[in-house]
Every structure is written in structure tokens, then in C-alpha cells.
Amino acid sequence: MSDDGVETSKMTFLITTKKKKTGHELKFIIISIPRFSGGTAQDWLRWIKQFEHICELKKWTSEEKALHLNLVLDDEALNSWKVVSASVNVDDKDEFESVYKTWGHMFVPSMYHERLEEELYLFAKKRSETVANCHQRMRNITCMLSNLPSNALELDEQPLILTFKMALPNEWKTAYERSGVHLTSMPKTVQYFERLEISDTLVEPKNMVGAAEIDQKTYEKILELLTRFK
């Protein structure tokens, strides 16, 4: 079902994974993707991420991608794809990529990257959201940036870490700077600030309705967890 409550049909694909050394089949993974019938720029960017993920797992050629687009698209999206690809040799990778980009621009304006870049530049944690939800919201923006039909932007680990840290409350950034901890990956960064979030909530129970005071032993345990990142 889509975000607006409309029932959306899906297609299911079976992915076979293999062991790198022996090449023997390891296991099967079933992945479903909703049919895309049209929508906003964000709708297309979110859907195309799922489609590209399946393409990568299945190792489809440009011809196979084109074939499956005819299967997973519907209504407006399918009609527009048929129009732009009608006279194109989809066996040719360059020709396919060109028409694939043209089709994407039917849903995503060419300057849409500026809007997403501005969102990322002004990105800040909302007072009511958790660190995990804040990270997921930032991931949604960076994923859309990386899937743009043109002017796509793939951020490296360090810019991502810097952007995420800048979005957090000043007192958390100060605590991190004074901690001596050096975070080098996004998972570690999120984990560190999640623990700091727990620490902040417990040490200052006024931030949480019904929270109780903690004893010195619990407080020391929290500090120990935070310093493990050093």
C-alpha cells in the first residue's frame, strides 16, 4: 500500500547468492518491489532506488533492465517509458542510459539537486525525534541525491559524518569534542550519539516524562559505554 493509502501491486524477485570462493549457491532471497505508476520527484527517487538495488543483485544488462521496466511500471510511468524508449536500441548500454535519464527527468526536474543539497545544508535534528530517526531522515535525502537522473551526488563517509554531527544539539557536539573520541564510520557515529542520547535523558530526567533519577553506579556505567569508542 502506498503512503496515500492506495493499494499498490507488487512484483517479487528471487535472488540467489553464492559463496565467493567456491561459487556454490548459498541461499535464496525474496525481494518485492511495488509497481510504479507515477508521482512526484520524491516518489520516483524512492522507487528507483529499489529498482536499482534489484538490478545490482540480479546483475541485469541494459536490455534486461529495459525488459523489466516494462513489467514493473504501470499507467503514466509505463506509457512515458514506452514513448522515450520506442526507437532506442536498449542492447547498447550508452543508448539505454541516455533514455533512462530522459525518462527520469519526466518526474525529476533538472534542478532538483539544488533543493536536496539545500535540505542537506540546513539539516538539523528535530527536538522530538531520536538520533536513529534523525539519521534515517538524513539517509533519505542522501539516497535521493545519489539516485538523481543527472547531477547525482554520492557523499563519502567523512562528509556524511560531518553533516550528521552538525545537525545535532550543541551540547552533544561539545561533549563529543571534549571526549577525545575519533569517529570514522557512520554506524559508529550513530551508535555513539545514541548512547549520548540515553545518557542525556537519564542524567536529566526532566527531558522525559516519568523518568527517574539514576544512581552514581548507573551514571558511571553510561560514561564507560561512551568511552569505549576511544
- Cα separation, 158 vs 99, in Å, equals 33
| Local structure of 109: helix, strand or coil | coil
pLDDT tens across the length of the chain (230 residues): 444 433 468 888 888 776 666 656 567 788 899 999 999 999 999 999 999 999 999 999 999 999 999 999 999 999 999 999 998 999 999 999 999 999 999 999 999 999 999 999 999 999 899 999 999 999 999 999 999 999 999 999 999 999 999 999 999 999 999 988 899 999 999 999 999 898 877 655 444 433 344 455 555 555 555 555 54
Provide the Cα torsion 49, 54, 55, 57; round to 10°: 120
Per-residue pLDDT, 16: 76
Per-residue pLDDT, 11: 87
Q: Which grid cell sits at 119?
A: 535540505
CB 33 within 8 Å of CB 51:
yes
Residue 5 backbone class (left: φ over 0; alpha: ψ -120 to 50; beta: rest): left
Per-residue pLDDT, 27: 72
Per-residue pLDDT, 23: 57
- Cα separation, 188 vs 194, in Å, equals 10
- Cα separation, 167 vs 123, in Å, equals 6
Per-residue pLDDT, 223: 56
Per-residue pLDDT, 205: 46
User: What's this model's pTM, rounded to 2 decimal places?
Assistant: 0.77
- Cα separation, 193 vs 185, in Å, equals 13
Per-residue pLDDT, 46: 95
Taking 3-state DSSP, the helix, strand and coil percentages for the chain, each rounded to the nearest 5, stand at 55, 10, 35
Query: What letter would DSSP give residue 205?
Result: G
Dihedral over Cα of 46, 184, 117, 103: its sign: negative
